[in-house]
Amino acid sequence: MSDTMQRQTGQTAAGPVDDALTGPLALLGPLGVLGALRSGAELFVEYGDPNDVLSLTQVEQLDKLIEFFDLA
């Protein structure tokens, strides 16, 4: 499992991460985290995945964010 996948699934060699959002929330605050998620969804709406590098799970997650932010 890649480092990126480990972070996304909350898994590390030591086991599950207790609270994967603690760091981003502390760094950016709730509105900053929402803004970053929305920015990612907007970029996906605008550009898609032209080099087909995103996993099916990542695309599904972005689709859920697009629906959540009503960007479709």
pLDDT in tens, 20-72: 888 999 999 999 999 999 999 999 999 999 999 999 999 999 999 999 999 98
pTM, two decimal places: 0.72
Tell me what pLDDT residue 46 has: 98
Cα separation, 42 vs 6, whole angstroms: 24
pLDDT one-digit tens code per residue, 11-29: 555 555 558 888 999 999 9
Tell me what pLDDT residue 12 has: 55
Nearest to 24 by CA among 10, 13, 12: 10
